[in-house]
Amino acid sequence: MGRRTRNPDLLLFSFILLLIFFGVIILASVSASFSLQKTGSTLYYLNHQLLFGMLPGIVGGFFMYLLPLPMIRKMATPLLFFTIICMGAVFLPIIGPFMFYGYLIAVIRSIYAGKESEGLPLFWQQKFGDILLQGVFVWLGTLIVTVVLYALIFIFGIFGVVISAVLPSPLVLLVLVSIAFIIFFILALGSSMLMFQYADTLQFKDALNVFKSFRTVFGNFGSFILVFIRVLGVFVLSMLLVAIVAVPLGFVSPIAAMIVFYLYFLLVALPFLSFSGTYLYARFYRDKVLGKNKGLRKKRR
């Protein structure tokens, strides 16, 4: 029997290259100024990613391409379970959300100290016990506040069902849904400063002080909305970039489009949105809350 020739999916390969191209552009644009401050070169982090990220990926991808398809099929099930285990590991308390929240606290406190120009604090340089404990407090505070807020929304929902039963009208239903959305939006905005309050004092009560968070947000509403719009704009832009690749690919291979979208969101969009949003909100809190408090202390002196 003759050897079967390989027929690579050139269309899928083209979309992957396009996705990598957009990723490189984003990396080059967001790291240029920081790279210049830290290393004296605007291209240091871009070159580092190309050399230690893209090049090994290309070599690894080419190696997988050379493997016989029957061998890949035999490896598929073990690799699937290994991937599921790795994905589930992020929910373990020690290496999952607690450590992530704790590291964000370290990042926020660095911004409060005005050290963002020196670069983000490195994760492996943090004290394990400190970021674990701080992550637990932030996670627990967020969980408690979220449960309370959703309970309020649930109560309003029951009230809405009763009103709809008494006044069965599409207009009444539309008004109730609109009111519920507005209430949820206000509560979500008003409680968005809880983590940043805790990062300032490291006291658990500030991770639960919704009233203080509301005063911060609505007492500086104009500045807060500008920051919120910037964060929302970053989210929309990141989704548009992947949509340019995933949507056309979906007409050819929906499964491939879902894989590309999932990998992009998990490996690029989610970390980028988390840290960019944290950075913008931390600067807002530093300038509008901590800055005012320092000004009041100086006046009293």
pLDDT in tens, 52-94: 778 887 887 788 778 787 887 887 787 777 777 666 655 555 5
Cα–chain center distance at 283: 17
Question: Is 50 exceeded by the pLDDT of residue 300?
Answer: no
For the entire predicted model, the pTM comes to: 0.60
Contact of 162 with 129, CB cutoff 8 Å: no
pLDDT given for residue 2 in this prediction: 46
Question: Is 60 exceeded by the pLDDT of residue 253?
Answer: yes
The overall average pLDDT reported for the chain is: 77
Question: Is 50 exceeded by the pLDDT of residue 132?
Answer: yes
Local confidence band at 258 (pLDDT 50, 70, 90 cut-offs): confident
Cα–Cα distance measured from residue 113 to residue 100, given in angstroms and rounded to the nearest whole number: 20
Question: Is 80 exceeded by the pLDDT of residue 39?
Answer: no
Instruction: Between 221 and 160, name the one with better pLDDT.
Output: 221
Find, among 283, 181, 183, the residue nearest to 227 by Cα. Answer: 283
- Report helix, strand or coil for 217: helix
pLDDT given for residue 301 in this prediction: 44
Give me the helices (H) in the chain, please.
10-39, 44-49, 55-66, 69-89, 97-112, 128-166, 170-190, 194-201, 210-219, 221-252, 254-264, 270-285, 291-300
Q: What is the mean pLDDT of residues 24-37?
A: 74
